[in-house]
């Protein structure tokens, strides 16, 4: 998933997502819930310490987004889901 993909999924511009990723801007509560749904992680993970089950996936997605590469299709990462 690219930052552009995330932007489309949460209804924000790519610029806003890049500002989130760079730390220049913080998403509001509604955006946090939408981001959590898109990334298939608990919303409280985005606000604090990640549960072990989600940490690897989120780190992997963050690296792919930083590199501009595509991650697995949303909901298609079955290997991660079985860990």
pLDDT digits (tens, 9 = 90+) for 60-73: 777 777 766 555 55
How confident is the model at residue 11, as a pLDDT?
95
| Domain assignment of residue 56, given as a range | 3-81
Question: Residues 2-11: pLDDT tens digits?
Answer: 899 999 999 9
Measured distance CA(40)–CA(43) in Å, rounded: 9
Number of structural domains (the chain) is 1
How sure is the predictor about 80, in pLDDT bands with cuts at 50, 70 and 90?
Answer: very low
Measured distance CA(1)–CA(38) in Å, rounded: 10
Measured distance CA(62)–CA(30) in Å, rounded: 20
């Amino acid at each position: 998933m690219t930052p552009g993909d995330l932007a489309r999924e949460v209804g924000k511009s790519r610029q806003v997502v890049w500002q989130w990723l760079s730390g220049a801007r913080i998403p509001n509560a509604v955006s946090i819930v939408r981001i959590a749904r898109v990334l298939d992680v608990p919303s409280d993970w985005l606000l604090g310490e990640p549960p072990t089950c989600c940490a690897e996936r989120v780190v992997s997605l963050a690296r792919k987004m930083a590199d501009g590469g595509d991650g697995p299709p949303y909901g298609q990462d079955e290997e991660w889901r079985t860990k």
